[in-house]
Structure 1
Amino acid sequence: MVLYFSGTGNTRYAAEVIGELLHNEIKDIREFIKSGVKTKFYSKAPYIICAPIYAWRFPPLVEGFLERSDFWGSDKVYFVATCESQTGDAARYLKKICEKKGMTFMGFAGVPMPENYIIMYKPPKEDEQKHIFRMANSELVSIVNTISRGEVLKDDLDMKLLKPLTKLVNPWFFGACVSSRKFRTTDKCIGCGKCVEACPYGSITLSDGRPVWGEKCMHCMSCICGCPTGAIEYGRRTVGRDRYYCRKEPNITWRYKY
């Protein structure tokens, strides 16, 4: 079973490629996360958990989901992360979760994807995106081959020198950088409510047809990048900046070896 969380579609794409090649069931865990209810899953095949990297770890709400969920059937878990270039020490924290739950950690691998954190960075242009996806597809096939053979995944993006910094950078990022206060809408807003649906915390509400952001936020970029009219801004940082949302569908035309 492939379980995934995705903010702007990169991880969804990766999870769907993996699921289709392995003929595994694929589940979006956003609604399970939003509900906060303890969930039970059953899978004969190893679990494959896919999520983006935020400040060199899986997002807090994904780690929390894993800790409170029950996984029946297979006791083996693989982890696949999407990121721009670095995965930090994410694997160590996931391994600890597996140990607490009595599950077998089958490794972790990072897959480079187009940059989507538009609050700080410009997303790549279309030609560059195509190149990144070609590289990502190759990496995903390699991951599927490893899982098919029952071998342990290895991460080529772990940046060993950065690992010790994860325990400092991650809490600093979420404490100093992540806030919902600067989100706002322009006159382009049509009150469609798609941002309300997109927020994994359920922290956005509509008031007089306009979104209002609550305190809970992790900068997943679901609202600002998923807005159909480009009506959401984050202070002045995003004004005039392209949005990024992966709507690419898997087109499995390659072969892979077991």
Structure 2
Amino acid sequence: MIIYFSGTGNTKWAASVLSERTGEKLINITDMPGTEISYKLEAGERLGFCFPVHGWRPPLIVRNFIKKLSVINAEGHYCYVVCTTGDNVGETIDIFEKDLKRIGVHLDSSFSLIMPESYVGLPFMDVDTPKKEKQKKEKAAEDLEHFADMIIERKKGIKELIVGRWPKINSRIIGSFFVKYLITDKPFHVTEDLCIKCGKCAKACPVDNIIWSKDSMPKWKHNGSCLSCFACYHHCPKHAIEYGSRTRNKGQYFFDKNEEL
């Protein structure tokens, strides 16, 4: 079983590759509504988690999912996590491991996969250049094959992570600021003369936070569900969506699984 969350597609690609290599089913967190979720693992089944790093932490949707998750027979089953990031993970895995311990799940191995950058919500952050994007994808494909080999062999105690130079500062201080002030849909707005009312932004939103109907412009719900993953921004074919003034003149990115690596 591979439980995953993906915003702009990087993690969905990684989880899909692992599913093909291990033969284990994929479960998308956004398809799992409800207050309590219970799973019973089959004999020999691995338990995998895949998610992107948000503000040097696991995404809130992942942490909230773990709180309501019950794995009936987790003991003795191999458990691993693969997190995707544009740079480094800070203390993301430490935080996630503590979340798992609270529900009685032991994490055996952890991996971080460098992927093209998609977070554009701060003035100094933008997507990668096409050249760097290509290089990251090629390297990620190689690394993921290596990770898959270890996962198939159920290697324990593996921590192939790029934590960065200041993991505590990034995850605790900046990460706290990120959660408190930057996870919000309030700055999102549409440039009306560019919007073609196609609804691609609404379809791309992983938490169904955008109201759209045919021939209408999108509107955000402002109900606290937004993850600031920027899937709506990146999927707009006319670059009509902005996040305050912070995304002005910035690039767009989402993973195209049909694209050749």
- TM interval, short-chain normalised: 0.7 to 0.9
Residue among 234, 238, 256 paired with 1:247:
256
How many angstroms apart in 2 are the aligned matches of 1:118 and 1:167?
20
Deviation at 1:25, TM superposition (A): 1.3
1:45-194 alignment runs, 5 A limit: 45-75=45-75, 76-120=78-122, 121-152=125-156, 153-159=158-164, 161-163=166-168, 165-186=170-191, 187-194=193-200
How many angstroms apart in 1 are the aligned matches of 2:24 and 2:146?
17
**8 Å contact kept, 2:187–2:243:** yes
How many angstroms apart in 1 are the aligned matches of 2:13 and 2:138?
13
Q: 1:248 to 1:184 in 2, by over 3 A?
A: same
Does 2:225 correspond to 1:221?
Answer: no
Deviations 1:185-243 (A, max 9, x none): 12232333333333333332238812222332221111111223332112233233221
Partner of 2:207: 201
The residue identity in structure 2 corresponding to 1:29 is I
Aligned residues: 250
Deviation at 1:55, TM superposition (A): 1.3
Q: 1:196 to 1:36 in 2, by over 3 A?
A: farther
Q: 1:17 to 1:155 in 2, by over 3 A?
A: same
Does 2:219 correspond to 1:212?
Answer: yes
How many angstroms apart in 2 are the aligned matches of 1:102 and 1:251?
40
Range moving further from structure 2, 128-137 or 35-44: 35-44
Tell me the percent identity.
Answer: 28
The residue identity in structure 2 corresponding to 1:47 is L
Deviations 1:125-172 (A, max 9, x none): 222212111111121112112112211231330237423652222111
Q: 1:158 to 1:195 in 2, by over 3 A?
A: same
Deviations 1:28-83 (A, max 9, x none): 22222xx3443333433111100000111110111111221223455442111000
How many angstroms apart in 2 are the aligned matches of 1:209 and 1:47?
42
How many angstroms apart in 1 are the aligned matches of 2:234 and 2:217?
17
Where do 4+ consecutive residues of structure 1 move more than 6 Å? Answer: none
Partner of 1:256: none
How many angstroms apart in 2 are the aligned matches of 1:56 and 1:84?
11
* SS of corresponding position for 2:163: coil
Range moving further from structure 2, 169-178 or 155-164: 155-164
* SS of corresponding position for 2:212: strand
* Structure 2: runs of 5 or more not aligned: none
The residue identity in structure 2 corresponding to 1:196 is A
* Structure 1: runs of 5 or more not aligned: 253-258
* SS of corresponding position for 1:104: coil
Q: 1:122 to 1:74 in 2, by over 3 A?
A: same
CA RMSD of aligned residues (A): 2.3
Deviations 1:60-111 (A, max 9, x none): 1111112212234554421110001111111122211221211221122110
* SS of corresponding position for 2:250: coil
**8 Å contact kept, 2:182–2:228:** no
